Structure 1
Amino acid sequence: MPRRALLVGINDYQKISDLRGCLNDVSNMRSILKTYLGFRNNDIRVLSENRATKENILHRLRWMVKLARPGDFMIFHFSGHGSQIRDRNGDELEDGLDELICPFDCDWDGRFILDDDLDEIFRGLPKNALLEVFLDCCHSGDGTRGISRTGHQQEHSAASRYLEPPLDIRFRYEDEENELSATRGFQSGNRSGNRSMQNHILWSACQSDQESADACISGVYNGAFTYYFCKHIRETGGFVSRRNLLERIRNSLHHNGYPQYPQLTCAKEADFENRPLQFPSSDEPERLLFLTTPYMRGNDVKKIQQALAKAGFSIIADGVFGPHTYETIRQFQEKNNLAIDGIVGKTVRAMLY
């Protein structure tokens, strides 16, 4: 199965304020792809610093989509500044905001990459190809570089990855906030509600009204979202559903005081339960199910619970592998003379099904 990745990171911008953790984000994601997911050097393209221009980013994305065939899997990860501007159609204002990512050569005269630009490219993906997109930037802010933090642990300083538009851009929609559409940009569709999500999955570092942290963690600058994404991939070996991974990342950010709430958008419900950063094959082995924090969730858990109920055990099929499911598995194992560990693997499944 062909796989390709484009990783973009920019610390040293040509005309706008610099960041510190974006190159580390690229290195971290590249390590994950190679160590846990079988990507080779030739499968991964990196654009960083002055090579990450608008022209180069769009060229590489078009190249990746052009080569895509059914069954291919692709990754686009961007780490840098983001912003948003009022959408304009010629001289007429429309309701809504365009969210954007900022390339190395970003300026406010068109040198930025809009959500519409990405959507146009992604619409070229063939059916049954899959693209997983990661945006470790933010598209809203209060005009300050600092981020307020309220968690239990205090790591070092953190700065926002939001770029405030200049006055002339901001004044285009001053006092018109109430007219803006509720759905907008990367995260929830464009103004007309026809944002294409048919064959790509989107991870966003924060909600559209939050800031994404460029943070010093254990003495090294990283994007807080990318750092905890990679941390939990390593801890689980990649054997974790997207839904469960999202919950882990949110918990880590909250515990460490980062006021950002990452978002995950999938076209199909099944994509939430599949593993991240890979295209599930029809013969992919089912994951081990066990008690962990946060709890595992998904249709595979629900299927086990339904089988236990059919076998006469008292259990609710809610799709959550909590303490009661764990204890019920242990009861099933004891009754069938199996090792009593509360883990659902091949042996337990074979006896239940």
Structure 2
Amino acid sequence: MSTFERYLTLWVALCIVVGIALGHVMPGFFQAVGAAEVAKVNLPVAVLIWLMVIPMLLKIDFASLRHVGRHWRGIGVTLFINWAVKPFSMAALGWLFVAWLFRPYLPAAQINSYIAGLIILAAAPCTAMVFVWSHLTRGEPHFTLSQVALNDTIMVVAFAPIVGLLLGLSSITVPWGTLVLSVVLYIVLPVIVAQVLRRSLLASGGQPALDALLKRLGPISLVALLATLVLLFGFQGEQILAQPLVIALLAVPILIQVYFNAGLAYVLNRVAGEQHCVAGPSALIGASNFFELAVAAAISLFGFNSGAALATVVGVLIEVPVMLTVVWIVNRSQGWYERGAESRPELRQAPRIG
């Protein structure tokens, strides 16, 4: 993890301050940015989102899907957590905390929007930072790559239906046209562009050419993320100053779902008899979110001023420190985990990674 990535939480906090300050000093600029829309797609944000997403998707080799069967237990557990547990558990936590327990402390007009943002955040598994988490847990690299490639493939067809279903169950109006457009614009097209560019680079210059481009694009991707957050907080400043506890309250269901899903994935892998080098990244993939896509989708569906957009940004704010604690737990519990394999000769003889 680069120094910049390690302190992502600090940069996000600074973006909150800068965005709120600029929103007061330059309200006309932010109004002009918000008005730059075509078919409900904000053009400046669309450019920034592509700069965020495409470098991450360049890392994904969809040919690695041929390795999916190699660690079928871990793959099965992660898919179950990502698509059958996490979005629904987040919706339930949103209803419990935002719609009920915290309702008196939140703006009444934004309750449904906050829940929508939490659902959107949980509906897309992490695609990029998970490689960092996997490395920190000495994870099996082929498993991580094939799992991420499989999740990206599923996300193309499953993101919109799951979001639409859970928004409908939450009695939130589903803007289906905008939702489908967001999937095409922020998932389908970036995947196509990234894979075409990846194959072209590998064909012309091999892996060194791809690595060189990724090194150049990495800082651009993070700067684009931070610029998006400055814009978002430029619009959200008045709401945050009026309700300073909003961010802390929205963080509660996110924190619970991270630890719940990570713990469930970790335990299920142990029960299934999977190796620790697979269980670690499985738990982290099951817990982390594709927050870049979530921010883009929330802005497209509900706008800059929405509680949904703010809720997804809270996920960005706590991503790094929370996931680092999950990494610490996974690493410290390796001995406990591997004692579960003592009755399984095939696992006891498996090579350790790292």
Q: Judging by fraction of residues, say which structure has more strand.
A: 1
TM-score (norm 2): 0.24
> Which one has more relative contact order, counting CA pairs under 8 Å at least 6 apart?
2
TM-score (norm 1): 0.24
